[in-house]
Structure 1
C-alpha cells in the first residue's frame, strides 16, 4: 500500500446554482479542478483504524471520531486496519473540499492495496457531494448535487494557480441559504478553459454578504494580472490562474507582503 498520498485541493473553476431542490439540496453545474498540493496522509497497517491529525489546521478538526477520514475508512471493506496521520495543510470550511479531498485520498490508497467495491461512487457520495470528484482528482464537470460526473479535457493542466484565504472559516450551509434563488443559466459549452473564463460562481455574492473580506481578496488578486480570479466553492478561498509561473510567484510575493495575515498556497492545476 502506498503509505503517503496527497489530498489535492479542490477548486470550482465555475459554479452555477440552478435551483433549490425539495430535499433541501441545490441543483448545481460545476467545473471541478484540482491543485497539485494539499493535505498529506501517511498510513501504516494496524490492527484497527486510527487517526492522528497534525499540521497548521489540525486544531480545527475537533472530533476525530466524526472526521470524514474515519468515515471513509468505515465505508471501505478491508482485511486490515489503517493507522492514518493527516497533515492538515488546507484551511477548514474554506471552499477547497479539504475534508472531501482527505476522503478521496483514503479511497485511492485503499484502491491501490485492495481495490474498491463496484459501487464505490455511491459510497463516496454518501460521505459528501464533492467526494466522488475528489477520489479521481481530475478536471471534470459535476451536475446534480455535484456527484454526477462527466469527464472534461485537460486544456488547463499545468496552469500556475495561487490560492488565498483571509483565514475566516465560512460554512457552506449559510452561503447556500443566502443565495437569491435566481437561475442565471447553465455552464458554457466548450473546453475547460472556455467554461472557466465564461462561467461564474453564483455563491460569490452571498458569500461576500457574509464575509465582506472576500471582496478584498478578489480585488488584491485581480490586481496581479491573472487571466482569471474567482472564489472557489462556497468560499472564502479565492484562486487566480496565471499564464506563467513567474507571474504567479510575483503575485504571491506582492499579496504576501501586503497581507501577511492571509493564508496562501502556490501550485499548478493537475
Structure 2
C-alpha cells in the first residue's frame, strides 16, 4: 500500500477567542497540496515504523510519532509495517504529522474499515487530523475539527511552499496572539474566502520567527495572486495563475535563497 500525506495549508485562519479549556476558537479554510510525505506499508505480524527522507532526523521518537499513535487507535487483525518518507519539514504549519496519521486512517479504511468512532479517534490525535483524512478543501470551526465542505474553485491552482528551515511550535504562537477578535471568516467560495480572509497568527509568528517576514517579502516580489503564511508558520505559500509563473518563482527563490526549503505543487 502507498499513500501520500498531502501537505495542508490554511488559506485563511481567523482566531476568534481563547476558550476556557485552553484551546482557541478558530475559523479556517483548509486546502491541500498534491504532494507531501509518502507512506508505504505491508502487512506484518506487528506494527512497526521506519522513518526515512530529508527530515527523518527531526523525528526523535518514532514511538511518539502520530503514525504510531494512529496505528495504536485502529484495531486490525494483523499489523502494518510502515515506511514514512518524511519530505515535509517538522513544526512548519503544514500539518505534516496530522497528514501522516490521516494517511494511516485511509490505509486501514481501505483494507479493514474504520471503527464507528473514527472521527473522535482522529480528533484525539490532533485538530488537523480529521480534515487531513479526506484532504479536500473545507472549512474548519471550533478547534478545527468541525468540518464543512466549501465550493472549491481553487482546485488545480499552482502553489509554491517556502520555509526558512526554522521550526516553529504551535503553542508559543497561539500564546503570543493578542486576543483581539478581528471578525469571522468571509462567506463564499474557496477563492472568495482566501482572497478576503487573513491569518491571525501571522503577526505573532513573525514576532517569534522574524525570518517569516523575509519569506513573505520574497514571495510578494513574484507574480503571485496570493501570498500568506500557513497555519502557525513558519511555512508560507504563494498561489499563481499558471504553472510557468510558479516555476519561474520557484527558480528565482531557489537562486536567491538557496538554503530555504520549497515545494511546488497544485491545490487538490
TM-score by shorter chain over 0.5 = yes
Kindly state the Cα deviation for residue 177 of structure 1 after the two structures are TM-superposed. 0.3
Kindly state the Cα deviation for residue 153 of structure 1 after the two structures are TM-superposed. 1.4
Kindly state the Cα deviation for residue 117 of structure 1 after the two structures are TM-superposed. 1.2
- Partner in structure 2 of residue 10 of structure 1: 8
Counterparts of 1:140 and 1:121 in 2: how far apart (Å)?
A: 16
Structure 1 residue aligned with 2:119, among 118, 121, 131? 121
Tell me, what secondary structure is at the counterpart of 1:91? coil
| RMSD, aligned CA | 0.4
- Partner in structure 1 of residue 193 of structure 2: 195
| Superposition misfits of 4+ residues, deviation over 4 angstroms | none
Tell me, what secondary structure is at the counterpart of 2:155? coil
Kindly state the Cα deviation for residue 118 of structure 1 after the two structures are TM-superposed. 1.8
Structure 2 residue aligned with 1:256, among 247, 254, 257? 254
Alignment of 1:205 onto 2:187:
no
Please, what TM-score do these two structures have when normalized by structure 2?
1.00
Structure 1 residue aligned with 2:48, among 16, 28, 50? 50
- Partner in structure 2 of residue 267 of structure 1: 265
**C-alpha deviations, 1:121-167, integer Å up to 9, x for none?**
11000000000000110000000000000011120000000000000
Kindly state the Cα deviation for residue 119 of structure 1 after the two structures are TM-superposed. 1.6
Tell me, what secondary structure is at the counterpart of 1:117? coil
Counterparts of 2:117 and 2:138 in 1: how far apart (Å)?
A: 19
Alignment of 1:38 onto 2:36:
yes
Tell me, what secondary structure is at the counterpart of 2:148? strand
Please, what TM-score do these two structures have when normalized by structure 1?
0.99
Structure 2: gaps of 5 or more residues: none
Counterparts of 2:99 and 2:63 in 1: how far apart (Å)?
A: 18
Structure 1: gaps of 5 or more residues: none
